[in-house]
């Protein structure tokens, strides 16, 4: 099986990156992680790229034309698929149109509910019954592309923001790899 070369974009902890790297090392997993992009020099997650000897780049999104550097590296590493895993920047229209239906994101809510930031505090405030995560294609609107997969759980009375985050991330570690398998099984 020829694996697609994938790039993971991160900004922080990188636990989803770590999880995807571990899955990608299994023979029949459809992608090989060939590049990591971080917009944050101090992102903890970059250590997973180092640990697994995966090329990584830092980008300074304050610089004009910073995206040229990303595009060059995506080309250099022959990247055909992109996963946003806790990437806290908006991806440009240019990149989205170049990688049409080839960029996916994981979001910590049951979309279309709670797009954007601070999902857990908003869920608690709204007295939601269920929480969870969604993997979706990235389009030009924030957290609005076609949904690939959702996983949910019932919120318990004692669940605070930290507990919700932990439970959601545990589901994310299943949902992200499953989505990737689902996408490539279709093609
Ligand atoms: C995840 O919870 C994801 O839903 C959100 O950002 C978080 C990233 O966590 N988009 P990590 O950096 O993968 O640990």
Give the C-alpha distances (Å, rounded to integers) separating 63 from 44, 73, 82, 88.
Answer: 22, 16, 22, 16
Q: Report pTM.
A: 0.96
Given a contact cutoff of 8 angstroms between Cβ atoms, the answer to whether 38 and 46 are in contact is yes
Round to whole Å and give the CA distance between 86 and 125. Answer: 23
Residue with tokens 């709204």: 126
List of domains in the chain: 1-100 (3.40.50.170), 107-187 (3.40.50.170)
Calculate how far, in angstroms, residue 12's C-alpha sits from the geometric centre of ligand 1.
8
Q: Which atom of ligand 1 is nearest to the CA of 14?
A: 12
Per-residue pLDDT of the chain (187 residues; tens, 9 = 90+): 899 999 999 999 999 999 999 999 998 999 999 999 999 999 999 999 999 999 999 999 999 889 999 999 999 999 999 999 999 999 999 999 999 999 999 999 999 999 999 999 999 999 999 999 999 999 999 999 999 999 999 999 999 999 999 999 999 999 999 999 999 986 5
Q: Whose CA is nearest to atom 14 of ligand 1?
A: 15
Q: Whose CA is nearest to atom 7 of ligand 1?
A: 86
């Amino acid at each position: 099986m020829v694996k697609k070369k994938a790039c993971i974009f991160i900004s922080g902890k990188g636990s989803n990156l770590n999880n995807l790297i571990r899955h990608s090392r299994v023979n029949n997993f459809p992608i090989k992680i060939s590049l990591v992009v971080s917009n944050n020099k101090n992102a903890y997650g970059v250590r997973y790229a180092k640990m697994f000897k995966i090329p990584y780049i830092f980008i300074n999104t304050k610089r004009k034309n910073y995206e040229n550097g990303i595009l060059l590296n995506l080309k250099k590493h022959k990247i055909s698929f992109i996963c946003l895993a806790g990437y806290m920047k908006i991806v440009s229209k240019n990149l989205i149109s170049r990688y049409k239906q080839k960029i996916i994101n994981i979001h910590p809510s049951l979309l279309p509910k709670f797009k954007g930031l601070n999902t857990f505090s908003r869920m608690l405030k709204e007295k939601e019954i269920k929480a969870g995560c969604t993997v979706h294609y990235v389009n030009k609107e924030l957290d609005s592309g076609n949904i690939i997969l959702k996983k949910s759980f019932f919120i318990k009375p004692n669940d605070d923001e930290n507990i919700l985050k932990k439970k959601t991330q545990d589901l994310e570690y299943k949902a992200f790899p499953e989505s990737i398998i689902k996408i490539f099984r279709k093609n």
